[in-house]
Chains A and B, each alone.
Chain A
Amino acid sequence: MELEYDDPFAKDFCGSCSKCIDACPTDAILPNKVVDGSRCISYFTIELKEMLLPSEMHNKFDNWMFGCDTCQDVCPWNRFSKPTTEAAFNPIPEVLNLSTKEWESMTEETFKKIFRHSPMKRSKFKGIQRNLSFLQQQQS
């Protein structure tokens, strides 16, 4: 259907800020607005299906188990974030409350039950376990 079109957003308010580039734990953010997806923690923890994570990434995951928000968390524009009003996005209590120990001792059955409607399904229980043990190895 034909509609009236909005004007494109012509400006760029990043300026000379490089907080996201500097903060990225795996140096995945390159110059000229190129993000190397194959170095991104979200890629490793969610999209990479191999059971072995690359050893060069040891100690670089900064305790991220599923995805990563570092480049958004440091972005000055996110000072203007407001809480969502969409009830379905309200946190699953276990996401907020479980400790590392509790995550590590979780059974597949429990995982499936708690995270039935969560995006974490994408990694599957095996993927979450892989990520947890990778984080554990880092500390030792």
Chain B
Amino acid sequence: MSIPATHTLLVKQLSKQLGFDYCGIAKAVPLDEDARKLEAWLNKGMHGQMKYMENHFDLRVDPTKLVPGAKSVITLLLNYFPSQQQNSDAPKIAKYAYGNDYHEIIRAKLNEFLFMIREKIGDIQGRGFVDSAPVLERSWAKKSGLGWVGKNGNLITKQNGSYFLLQH
């Protein structure tokens, strides 16, 4: 087996071990089409007062600028669909917010992921992102074969729908 093939197998095994539901890998290249779409969306003001979405446009659309020297983008999905429902008379809360904050949960997992990869492969460069940096999550998920972007803008997997958190 070639070195990239061996490393790929290891990365996918480790992602499972850490409890991620899906793992897809794409080559780190600029997202030209997404850049145009994002620009048009921002120009129409569809981000409202979320000014932070305008920040770091160049980094957002090009992972090799966000992480200099990056070769691969690994996209991981974590299912958050709850098994219980709210009281029917309660004010409604989005399901991702039923439990603990996903930022905290996933950041810890990504750190562990990088640690385990370095332990097995050596001192590779890499950074984990969960909302913390300007990454076009859904585009990467589609690019790495995990699903399609639906009309509602969510990444939809054919196997288990869309109640997933995306990280890289």
What mask results when residues 1 to 44 of chain B are scored 1 for a CB within 8 Å of chain A, else 0?
00111011001000000010000111100000000000001001
Restricting to A1-60, which residues have a CB under 8 Å from any CB of B? Answer: 1-9, 11-14, 17-18, 20-21, 24, 29, 33-38, 42-43, 47-50
What mask results when residues 111 to 122 of chain B are scored 1 for a CB within 8 Å of chain A, else 0?
000000000010
Asked if B144 contacts A84 (CB within 8 A), the reply is no
Asked if A6 contacts B145 (CB within 8 A), the reply is yes
A1-B121 in contact given A34-B41, A77-B156, A89-B82 (Cβ < 8 Å):
yes
Q: Number of residues in A with C-beta < 8 Å to the partner?
A: 72
Give the residues in chain B near A24, CB-CB below 8 Å: 152
Q: Number of residues in B with C-beta < 8 Å to the partner?
A: 74
Q: Shortest beta-carbon distance, A5 to chain B, in Å?
A: 5
Restricting to A101-120, which residues have a CB under 8 Å from any CB of B? Answer: 103, 117-120
- 27 pairs, CB–CB < 8 Å, chain A vs chain B: A3-B7, A3-B74, A20-B151, A29-B153, A33-B149, A35-B153, A36-B44, A38-B47, A65-B91, A67-B93, A69-B92, A72-B154, A72-B163, A75-B150, A75-B154, A78-B163, A80-B160, A84-B78, A88-B99, A89-B80, A89-B82, A89-B99, A89-B100, A90-B98, A96-B90, A99-B89, A117-B104
- B residues engaging A (CB < 8 A)? 3-5, 7-8, 11, 19, 24-27, 41, 44-50, 71-72, 74, 78-87, 89-105, 121, 124-126, 142-154, 156-163
